[in-house]
Structure 1
Amino acid sequence: MGIFKSKKNKKFSYTPRHFKNDGEGSPFEMKHKFDDYRKTVGSTGGIKSKFQNAFDELKESPDRSANRRILIIIAILIFIFLFIIEFDLSIFLPNT
């Protein structure tokens, strides 16, 4: 079943008329400038391996302030969700 597989692009053996191949690669290759530094780019198997690569890349990132900001945003969203469903947060506080 090809439900979860992405469609591959067709490849043709066309070479442009005015292209000088000086070792830079194909003129038709669309590549982001940060693709060489990331593991999560490209087809790397199933969803489990994609999540593992994303977490490994997150752990290796030198910018700790971005990680902290993401955790704060997630915590705020969790508290908003708990407020919407009227969850009683007093169960976490000590009895006085």
Structure 2
Amino acid sequence: MGLMKLKKNRKYNYKPRYYKGEGSPYELKHKFDDYRKTINPPKGIKNKWNAAVDEYQNNRDEKVNKRVFIIAGILILLFLILIGFDLSIFFPKS
């Protein structure tokens, strides 16, 4: 009868006429996939954290380390201001 059957999708084997490259021209790939380990890490928070720490340790760049410390310092300072911490203890009295 055909009322309960699902319709099958048509499949096309389209190949571009003038493409002579390697692989599929329609494959989407991030340009840093070859250099990073954390693109598709194993599932779970612990495994994701370990992969990120491993990538950070293997990439020894002084500018990145300095930038991370500056951002962390600014965020800690903003947090202390937000909770109302008395910052005058860090400055000498004149």
User: TM-score when scaled to structure 1?
Assistant: 0.63
Larger Rg: 2
* Aligned ranges 1:1-96 → 2 under 5 Å: 14-18=12-16, 24-42=22-40, 44-88=42-86
The number of equivalent residue pairs is 82
Asked if 1 retains the 8 angstrom alpha-carbon contact of 2:42 and 2:48, the reply is yes
Distance in 2 (CA, whole Å) between partners of 1:26 and 1:13 is 16
User: Structure 1: which 5+ residue stretches go unaligned?
Assistant: 1-11
CA RMSD of aligned residues (A): 3.1
* Cα pair distance change 1:65/1:17, threshold 3 Å: closer
State the 1:88 CA deviation.
3.6
Distance in 2 (CA, whole Å) between partners of 1:59 and 1:19 is 46
User: TM-score when scaled to structure 2?
Assistant: 0.64
Distance in 2 (CA, whole Å) between partners of 1:13 and 1:32 is 27
Asked if 1 retains the 8 angstrom alpha-carbon contact of 2:41 and 2:51, the reply is no
State the 1:90 CA deviation.
6.7
- Relative CO higher for 1 or 2, CA cutoff 8 Å, sep ≥ 6? 1
Distance in 2 (CA, whole Å) between partners of 1:28 and 1:43 is 24
1:46 aligned partner, one-letter code? G
* Cα pair distance change 1:69/1:23, threshold 3 Å: same
User: Structure 2: which 5+ residue stretches go unaligned?
Assistant: 1-9
